[in-house]
């Protein structure tokens, strides 16, 4: 069940994934997701939610490991690609086109929830509410992994500041950059298992780029 979507953000992300769908980068599973999958077993924690799955690299990885996956994304283009990819691989998967700030699931529906490079594309209040929702959707002892930019991120301050630490990079493309106090507040209903700050430098068409991300792993209390 879901409520009305944000049309401006949806238009932005449909544009992104229509352009990016064939890039190998977006099909490579991040090492921390590989580690998470290896640390869990489908028989013990079978139900996985990928909140904001993009083209589906992490959803596919969990499904291939034997988990029952529900994958959601705001972008119709992204979900269409994932459905085609899952069909080609003969992987059963539940997929939904929806806004992560508005989707609704029954309480205690999932054993694991992940949201990689997604939740911060919103205002802080929406992000906090999304974390509260994930806590409600997880079973007791359920695992939650998510990432979010730090305030040292290379994109901090770029675009129009719509709210404190919240920048609209392009129409429909929001970035909220968090500090440790944000994480502590959002995760009040969780036991923190791991909180790392990962910095990454690279060149994009000859231009130096820098990202700084929180990588957070928590367990529902």
State both tokens at 158. Answer: 């770029």
State both tokens at 149. Answer: 């930019």
- 143 contacts 40 by C-beta, under 8 angstroms: yes
- Residue spans of the chain under pLDDT 70: 1-8, 21-22
Distance CA 103, CA 73 (A): 10
- 178 contacts 120 by C-beta, under 8 angstroms: yes
Tell me if residue 44 falls in helix, strand or coil.
Answer: coil
Distance CA 51, CA 112 (A): 11
- 19 contacts 113 by C-beta, under 8 angstroms: no
Q: What is the pLDDT of residue 101?
A: 85
> What is the C-alpha radius of gyration for the chain, rounded to an integer number of angstroms?
17
Tell me if residue 176 falls in helix, strand or coil.
Answer: strand
Q: What is the pLDDT of residue 6?
A: 52
User: What residue has token string 């500090």?
Assistant: 179
Q: What is the pLDDT of residue 3?
A: 36
Q: What is the pLDDT of residue 4?
A: 39
Tell me phi and psi for residue 41, to 5 degrees.
Answer: -130, 140
Q: What is the pLDDT of residue 117?
A: 93
Distance CA 63, CA 126 (A): 28
Q: What is the pTM of this model?
A: 0.92
Domains of the chain (ranges; CATH) run 7-220 (3.40.50.150)
Q: What is the pLDDT of residues 30-73, one digit of tens each?
A: 899 999 999 998 888 899 999 999 999 999 999 999 999 999 99
């Amino acid at each position: 069940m879901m409520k009305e979507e944000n049309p401006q953000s949806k238009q932005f992300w449909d544009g992104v994934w229509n352009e990016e769908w064939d890039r190998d980068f977006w099909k490579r599973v991040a090492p921390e997701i590989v580690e998470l999958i290896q640390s869990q077993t489908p028989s013990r924690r079978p139900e996985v939610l990928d909140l904001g799955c993009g083209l589906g690299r992490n959803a596919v990885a969990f499904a291939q490991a034997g988990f029952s996956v529900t994958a959601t994304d705001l972008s119709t283009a992204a979900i269409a690609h994932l459905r085609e990819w899952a069909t080609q691989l003969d992987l059963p998967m539940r997929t939904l086109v929806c806004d992560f700030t508005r989707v609704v699931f029954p309480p205690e529906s999932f054993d694991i929830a992940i949201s990689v490079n997604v939740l911060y594309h919103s205002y802080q209040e929406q992000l906090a509410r999304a974390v509260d929702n994930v806590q409600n959707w997880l079973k007791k002892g359920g695992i939650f992994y998510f990432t979010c930019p730090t305030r040292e991120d290379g994109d901090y301050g770029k675009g129009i500041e719509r709210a404190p630490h919240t920048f609209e990079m392009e129409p429909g493309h929001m970035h909220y950059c968090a500090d440790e106090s944000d994480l502590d507040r959002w995760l009040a209903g969780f036991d923190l298992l791991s909180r790392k700050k990962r910095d990454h430098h690279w060149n994009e068409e000859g231009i130096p780029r820098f990202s700084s991300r929180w990588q957070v792993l928590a367990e529902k209390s």
